[in-house]
Amino acid sequence: MMKFIVSSQLLFKNLQNISGIIITNKSVPIVENILFTIKGMELCLTATDLETTMISRVELSQAEGEGSIAIPSKLVVETLKTLPDVPVVFTISDEGNIEIVADNAHYSFMGFDAAQFPKNPEMSDQKSFSMPVGYLCNAISKTNFATATPDIRPVMAGILCEVKQDSIIFVATDGHRMVKYECRCEDTGMDESLILPKKPLLQLKNVLQGVEGDIRINFNASQVSFTIQSLTVISKLVEGRYPNYASVIPKNNTSVLRVDRMQWLQKLRNIAMYSNQSTHQVRLSISETEMTLSAEDRELANKAVVTMPCQFSGENLNIGFSSKFLQEFLSNLDTPEIMFTLSHSTGPGLMFPVYEDEESAPEKILMLAMPVMLSAE
C-alpha cells in the first residue's frame, strides 16, 4: 500500500503542466494515463505520447510506502481542478484501487499496472548547454508559425537549433517564408546543430510562462532533453538534413522601407478579407513617403485599397506578398517600428525589428517572405 498527502493546487499545476502532451491512443491506451511514482518524500509524475516524455517532481507533505501506478489522466486532472487549495490524501492499495479524500469529498477508482507504462528514455553520449528561459520562449514564439506541415517536408516541420560559440540560432521555414532568431549566450564551448520537434517545444513554452533562470539542454544524435527546476522534457530529434537556409537570404536588398509596425498590421487586417483566399495576395506600391496596399479577388469582384505613410529609400516599387505571411511576421515582432528591405519585384523581402540601439540588442530577428507573382492590373 502507498499513501501520500499533497497540496491539491500544487499537484494540479504539475499535472496540468505535463498532461498537455497526452493524446488518445487506441493501440497503446496506457499512455492516456500519468505514471505516479512515490520515492521518499517526492512524487514523480510522468506523461508521454511515445515521442515526447514530460516529467515533473512534486514535494509531498507526508508519504508512506514507495512504488508506481498509472492513473487515468483526465480523471485525476478534472477531479483536482474542482477542488480548492486543500490537502489531498491519496491511498493506493496493492490491488491498484485509488482513493482520494479532500475537502469533505471522497473519490475512488482503479489505476493500472505501472509495468505497462513505457520506460523513460535513456540518453547516452550527451552534450549540453544552457540558455536563459526567456530567450528559449522567445525563440519558440518567433519561429514556430513558420514551420512546414509534417506530411510535406518532415524535416522542415521542426525548428533548427544551431549552437555557436557565443550565440544560439533558431530557424524555421516552409519554403515560402523563413524566420531566423539569434540570441547572444556565454561561451557554449561547441558548434553543433539539431532539429527540434515542434510539439514539445510549444508545450514547453506554455509551461515556462513566467519562469525565470537558465534551462539546461542535453542532447545526443537522436534525443534532446530540457531541464529546469522540477521539470524535464525528453523528446526525439527530427531526423534528416535541414536545408541551407543561409543560401536564400539575399545580400542585395538595398531598398529600405521603414514603417510603423502596428499601423501596417492594422491596414493589412483591414483589406485581407478582400484578397484571393488561396493566394492572400496583397500588392505593395511603395514610394518615398507613401505605401499603397491593395487586395483583390476578381472572381468575387472584391477590391480594397488603403494608403499609409512610410519612409522608403530606393526606386518606386510594386511587389506582391501573402498578406497572411506579412500579418504573422508583424504580429510576432515587438518593436514600434520595423524595417523591410527589398531588391526588385520578384526578389524576397526581409523584415527586421528596429531597436533604439542595434548593437546592444540581445536578440536578432530576420524574417524572409518570398513574393507572390502580381497579376496584371
The residue to which cell 515556462 is assigned = 208
User: Is residue 359 over pLDDT 80?
Assistant: no
Residue whose entry in the numeric block shows the C-alpha cell 546543430: 193
Phi-psi region of 240 (alpha: psi -120 to 50; beta: other; left: phi over 0): left
Tell me what percent of the residues of the chain surpass a pLDDT of 70: 99
Mean pLDDT of all residues belonging to the chain: 94
> Is residue 187 scored above 80 in pLDDT?
no
350-375 mean pLDDT: 89
Beta bridge mates, 128: 218
Q: Which helix (H) or strand (E) holds 137?
A: helix 133-143
Query: Taking residues 295-308, what's their average pLDDT?
Result: 93
CATH class given for the domain over 250-369? alpha beta
Residue 223: what pLDDT? 96
Residues 6+ apart with CB under 8 A from 43: 4, 6, 11, 36, 37, 57, 58, 59, 60, 63
What are the extents of the domains in the chain?
2-116, 127-246, 250-369
Burial environment of residue 130 by CB neighbours within 10 A (0 to 12, 13 to 18, 19 or more): middle
Confidence of residue 376 (pLDDT cuts 50, 70, 90): low
Q: 135 in the Ramachandran plot: left (φ > 0), alpha (ψ -120 to 50) or beta?
A: alpha
What local confidence, expressed as pLDDT, does residue 104 receive? Answer: 87
- How many separate helices (H) and strands (E) can be counted in the chain? 6, 26
Answer for the pair 276, 297: CB distance below 8 angstroms, yes or no. Answer: yes
pTM: 0.92
Q: Which three cell numbers stand for residue 223?
A: 534525443
Per-residue confidence band for 209, with pLDDT thresholds at 50, 70 and 90 = confident
Name the CATH code of domain 2-116 (choices 3.40.50.1820, 1.10.760.10, 3.10.150.10, 3.40.50.300).
3.10.150.10
| pLDDT 10s digits, 122-174 | 888 899 999 999 999 999 999 999 999 888 788 999 999 999 998 999 999 99
- The set of cell numbers assigned to 80 is 483536482
Q: Considering only 97-106, 179-188, 240-249, 284-293, which range has the smallest mean pLDDT? A: 179-188
Q: What is the pLDDT of residues 58-97, one digit of tens each?
A: 999 999 999 999 999 999 999 999 899 999 999 999 999 9
Give, in words, the CATH class of 127-246.
alpha beta
Which phi and psi (to 5°) does residue 31 adopt? -75, 0
377 has pLDDT over 60:
no
CB of 127 within 8 A of CB of 188?
A: no
The 10s digit of each residue's pLDDT in 227-278 is 999 999 999 999 999 999 999 999 999 999 999 999 999 999 999 999 988 8
- CB neighbours (10 Å) of residue 290? 12
Mean per-residue pLDDT, 295-307: 92
pLDDT, position 129:
93
The candidate with the shortest Cα–Cα distance to 349, out of 334, 376, 327, 371, is 371
Strands 281-286 and 62-64: unpaired
Do the domains 127-246 and 250-369 sit in the same CATH topology, yes or no?
Answer: yes
